[in-house]
Amino acid sequence: MSHHRAIAAVFVAHGAVAGSLSTRIPWIQEHLHLSPGALGLALLCPSIGAFVGMPMAGRLAYRFGNRAATRVLLALWCAGLALPALSPSPVWLFGAFLLFGASAGMCDVAMNAHAVLLERHLGRSIMSGLHGMWSVGSLAAGGLGALAAHAGIDARIHLGVMSLALLGLGAAAGRGLLPDSGMTGSVRDAPAPRRFALPTRGILVIGLVGFCATFAEGASSNWSAVYLTAVTDAGPGLAAAGYTVFMLCMASARLLGDHVIRRLGPAATVRAGGAVAAVGGVLVVAARTPALGIAGFALVGLGIAVIVPLVIVAAGNAGTTPGEGVAGVATITYLSGLIAPAVTGWVAGALSYPAAFALITCVVVLLTLLAPVLRPSRTAPPERAVRVDAQP
């Protein structure tokens, strides 16, 4: 297995864990007799665990190496898939979700930091395609989970089998990861990062681009179906199709995005993507028919798809070590993804749904203005910048 395919398999496995669990949340709620409020509190725990874990991941990657950290943390994440369904009470479920979120966040940082180093080693963009593979893993596992739920399979059996299968996939992929000694600009060449790495000033600027993109993604993925129902009078099928089209456009654009990045460069790609997403946002605001609304959400998905992968690469190259840079920017984008659905709901309730998505369109426009911060430094040594075919 090539090093590129190995890290791609890691992203697939990580996405498959997330996709598997999401389909069995209703089973867990029914099994533990959770009220909607109790389930909401439980679902906050993974986010809390991730916030606590992510800032520490850079230090772990420095101490043990990105390759080892990625392998161990992926194994913990895959093994943790079975824990929520096995929880005998809500208290145990809260604890399981905290551990699940912490391993998810730390593994996310470690594998993205490894990908930054591998991209630097290869001298070409690969991050967008890797995030596309994450989406493929999540969609495939979600489909299997839906079939298991429809067949009435006990979630403890389903998630236990998936956990073992993904542990095997992760172990096989881990053996193919490029050793740290073979990477240009290994973490061992840099000073030790802080034990709890909050974003630095430089990472905050890069992270603002990711914040805008994740805000638009979180708002669109959570509110597209509701928006189409309330504003365009779409039926349940068409409303659900809006979400599906949005996610498929994002996944497709990420799988193909590296070719665009190599041709245009990071900053020009962000500007072009932001422009496409802004046009989509305008269509969504103006839409009064389901077809126009779905087309708008499709353009939003296409436009923002490659921005977060580019932000991760820029932060990994800007940090003291890739792990510290990725941890800092991941904290920012994770926060954005959490608050975006709530802010969208508040604005929609206070004003209207079109007003809420007009705000999101403004956020996307801001993203295009910030695009130059992702341009690789011309003064940086080769190992600190992503080589592209053309600079904007």
Give yes or no for a contact between 271 and 375, defined as CB atoms under 8 angstroms apart. Answer: no
Question: What is the predicted pLDDT for the residue at 181?
Answer: 66
Q: Are 307 and 251 in contact (CB under 8 A)?
A: no
Q: pTM for the full model? A: 0.80
pLDDT under 50 in the chain at which residues?
A: 185-186, 378-392
Backbone angles phi, psi at 345, to 5 degrees: -65, -40
DSSP string, 196-212: S----HHHHHHHHHHHH
Task: Please give the Cα distance from 112 to 130 (Å, whole number).
Answer: 9
In three-state secondary structure terms, 282 is helix
Which two structure tokens, joined as six digits, stand for 375?
A: 């341009």
Q: Which of 293, 275, 270 has the alpha carbon at shortest distance from 354?
A: 293
Find the DSSP H helices in 123-235.
127-150, 155-175, 201-232
Report the alpha-carbon distance of residue 73 to residue 50 in Å, rounded: 13
Structure tokens at 291: 């077809």
pLDDT per residue over 88-109, tens digit each? 999 999 999 999 989 988 898 8
Distance CA(17)–CA(180), nearest Å, equals 26
Express each pLDDT in 119-170 by its tens digit: 888 888 899 999 999 988 988 888 888 888 888 899 999 999 999 999 999 9
What pLDDT is recorded for position 183? 56
Q: How far apart are CA 227 and CA 55, in angstroms?
A: 35
